Structure 1
Amino acid sequence: MPETYHIITFGCQMNKNDSEHLAGLLEFNGCQPADNPEAANILVLNTCAVRDKAERRVYGQLENFNYLRRTKNLDQKIFLAGCMPACNKAEIKKRAPFLDGFLEIEEARRYPPRRADSPEAWVTIMQGCDNYCAYCIVPYARGHERSRGAEEILAEIQQIDFSRREVLFLLGQNVNSYAGEFQGQKISFPQLLELVLQKCTAVPKLAFLTSHPKDMSDELISVIARQAKIDREIHLPVQHGNDRVLQLMNRGYTIKHYLTLLAKIRARIPSAKISTDIIVGFPDETDAEFQDTYELVRTAGFSRVNTAGFSARAGTAAAKMPPLEQKVIDERLNRLNSCINSLKKVNK
């Protein structure tokens, strides 16, 4: 009987796309998908290291699956993939010595993906990040920015059956930094968007994640404005509402720049919706500085706000800064979420 596999994915859309490539690797080697973890000979946890909570969930799942494997005498091997092993395999081996090994994402990406049954299709156009935001583990987990060639991206998109798909997402840690080539010539991210729409006419809607405010260009705004197939919700993480904290975060822009950018987008694209991410309780954040974030959320007209309390990641610059007390972070996060929920009720 062929071996069977089951993949559990934590984290972002890029991890979901990575899991499709992991499935492609396993099926190339003769494995078949299993409907649930217990039915699999090979169990893979594709991990996220962005927040401590995500890592705790992974360790909890590992313990649970190892317990089931022992108590039910399952013929099963457990593997880890993704950002956690990319950051610290030694720590994982120490905490989960029963783990059977690791699967490498870079190796899996050499294999065609086995697409998930989803209305979304995901294609990664670049890996890594060179921004080194003070709180972020991604540059250490994913490495430096590496852009795929446009021909390779187009070939992958053209293999997708869009008859059951509603949207194609182009993915990257910072898509604005895309610097690939097409027919031997360097092209920018806005040029890639137009190329995809020109060459892949079956794409019903085109979206992308994620943009960095310091790199959001007039060219990109113009392309979105004139291409009706590009999704009108633009995800633009602001992370904080105070300039001093943004500087500590190494974000590379001011609130004035961010608000000018919002105004420019809304002037060129009247139907645009701006979603964002915010970190509450960054080290040395004062209550007055938190209030700046609160006021930004209250007045900026975001369509969606993803919030999180600060989580120190070993190896990042912020991990070396004196943290706030957890009760302070929790209290501020609750205040901000209450504000967001109130705004949702008003805007219904």
Structure 2
Amino acid sequence: MTKESRNTSDLKSDKVKDYSKYFDFSDAKVVSQEEGKTTYRIKGRNIQINSQPDFKEGKRRGKESIEVHYDFGIPQDMKEFGKGRFYQIVTYGCQMNEHDTETIKGMLEQMGYQSTDDRKVADIILLNTCAVRENAEDKVFGELGHLKHLKIEKPSLILGVCGCMSQEEGVVNRIMTKHPFVDLIFGTHNIHRLPVLLKDASFNREMVIEVWSKEGNIIENMPKKREGIKAWVNIMYGCDKFCTYCIVPYTRGKERSRRPEDVIAEVRDLARQGFKEIMLLGQNVNAYGKDFEDIEYRFGDLMADVSKIDIPRVRFTTSHPRDFDDHLIEVLAKKGNLMEHIHLPVQSGSNEILKRMSRKYTRELYLELVGKIKAVMPDVVLTTDIIVGFPGETDEQFEDTLALVREVGYDSAYTFIYSPREGTPAADMKDDIPAEVKKQRLYRLNDTLNEYSKASNDRLKGQTLEVLVEGESKNNEQVLAGRSRTNKLVHFEGPKELIGQFVQVRITETQTFYIKGEWIHETVSLQLGS
């Protein structure tokens, strides 16, 4: 059937087939059709659907090449569209989402918009969302409930939902049915399309949905609004691991790496701008370069090249144990501006659970990797991610995780009770562990981790650490807060002029989650005077 001959009944079997559960299609009408977009009249509102999420499509990993485009620009008719108008972006989730927000801010400001903290003043509010855990989604839908009243008071307000949640079929359906006042939904692969989508939503006064299930090309030279002394740098996008519990390969697409020369040019530019620290980002950062067909260049090569750039600190996240090769370890061991902190998610200490998670390494291989790292970097600080209560996890398997935590001696960890994500294989597994058992396991795990965190911090007492001062403490404006090379949070008293500087701090007191110290004046005064 051709696009031109479609009618209302086609909605049940074509691009919006899932909506049949939610809408009375006798009330749906095709309002207009153009190349790449169809507008429907559903429940009293026009909905322009350019494309929608499809998990099956998102799972396909074809061999088609990814093109790199360097010609991004704001359309001429949108360059002053936001003049005299204000925007607000609420960001949920990981550093990748935070970095996407920087890009969105950059585009909006090139369109003339200004940032505001007062949502009553805002002309556009975007929720940049996370789909990793169920409670993150609950927060977003709760926020939409609050924003509904603001939309009623100010009909001209543009409300948008973007990020990883937008890549989920069920989320788009729910927004259409429960939150029809939302004006704009776009995904992670088409952020660069925001100016065009915003124009459609504003002028046509209809909900605009454009979510690409298959990842697009790599778009370079998009504007970014960075603030502070630290900067994120995307080096690759997507993930091909397909761990059974994880939604990321569906929401972020297949692995695709930026060209080395583009990454290095961006880092050099950040160094010229005076940034003190950069974080190299990727859903699976050390898989960088595996998709290159014309060159043999991997993450270790990139880190070696970045280490030669005059920027004081370089970090990276998140790495996968399967892709942590010997060359990378060798490069990191040279230190310099490469920090001796590695975040190395393990998820479980049980081989049976690791297999059900499809992590594709064993407990023994993980511990062998840790041994290699510690052999050449004795002062390395390791942190991790751990899930408890994965479907079928027995008491004995949980004890395996506790034993691994003790053997590695992590300084800290992000710990989670398993949360099923619709569309992942694990969501179809029988979840037979009582909620109270999961909570008790989490408590025991955190108690064990806290013990090792405190012991690690205690060993620093009396030592002098290099600290990058990030700002005032969240709990006491008279106290400054910063990070050591190993990413320890350090509190100390000193003048506000130290913010953004490297200082020497002698550690005097240790807590579980942070350490306290005294600023060594003479060494800092030299830096301030240089």
What residue number does 2:254 align with?
144
Alignment root-mean-square deviation, CA:
2.1
Q: Aligned equivalents of 1:340 and 1:5: distance in 2? A: 41
What residue number does 1:327 align with?
436
Deviating 4+ runs (over 6 angstroms)? none
What residue number does 1:58 align with?
140
Q: Mapping of 1:116-195 within 5 angstroms?
A: 116-160=226-270, 165-179=275-289, 185-195=295-305
Residues 296-325 of structure 1 show CA distances to partners (whole Å, capped at 9, x for unaligned) of 223321111110000000110100001122
Please tell me the residue identity of whatever aligns with 1:83: C
**Structure 1 portions without partners, runs of 5+:** none
What residue number does 2:191 align with?
108
Contact 2:286 2:319 in 1 (8 A): yes
Residues 10-47 of structure 1 show CA distances to partners (whole Å, capped at 9, x for unaligned) of 01111111101111221222222223333211101100
Tell me: CA distance 1:162–1:60, structure 2 relative to 1, closer, same or farther (3 Å): farther
Which protein shows a greater Rg? Answer: 2
Q: Aligned equivalents of 1:215 and 1:151: distance in 2? A: 22
Q: Aligned equivalents of 2:137 and 2:291: distance in 1? A: 36
Please tell me the residue identity of whatever aligns with 1:122: W
Contact 1:149 1:181 in 2 (8 A): no
Tell me: CA distance 1:131–1:181, structure 2 relative to 1, closer, same or farther (3 Å): closer
Residues 136-167 of structure 1 show CA distances to partners (whole Å, capped at 9, x for unaligned) of 00001011111111122122223325665331
Equivalent residue in structure 1 for 2:364, among 248, 256, 259: 256
SS across alignment from 1:336: helix
Equivalent residue in structure 2 for 1:95, among 154, 178, 186: 178
Please tell me the residue identity of whatever aligns with 1:329: K
Contact 2:235 2:280 in 1 (8 A): yes
What residue number does 2:385 align with?
277
Compute the TM-score of the two structures, normalised by the length of structure 1. 0.93
Q: Aligned equivalents of 1:342 and 1:309: distance in 2? A: 20
Q: Aligned equivalents of 2:373 and 2:382: distance in 1? A: 9
Shift of 1:75: 4.2
Tell me: CA distance 1:202–1:345, structure 2 relative to 1, closer, same or farther (3 Å): closer
Q: Aligned equivalents of 1:287 and 1:165: distance in 2? A: 47
Residues 51-72 of structure 1 show CA distances to partners (whole Å, capped at 9, x for unaligned) of 00111111111111222333x5
Tell me: CA distance 1:163–1:22, structure 2 relative to 1, closer, same or farther (3 Å): closer
Identity among equivalent positions (%) equals 41
Contact 1:246 1:253 in 2 (8 A): yes
Tell me which of the two structures has the higher relative contact order, counting C-alpha pairs closer than 8 angstroms and 6 or more residues apart: 1
What residue number does 1:240 align with?
348
What residue number does 1:231 align with?
339
Please tell me the residue identity of whatever aligns with 2:441: R
Greater alpha carbon shift after TM alignment, 98-107 vs 171-180? 98-107
**Structure 2 portions without partners, runs of 5+:** 1-82, 193-218, 459-530
Q: Aligned equivalents of 1:125 and 1:140: distance in 2? A: 19
SS across alignment from 1:278: strand
Contact 1:150 1:180 in 2 (8 A): no
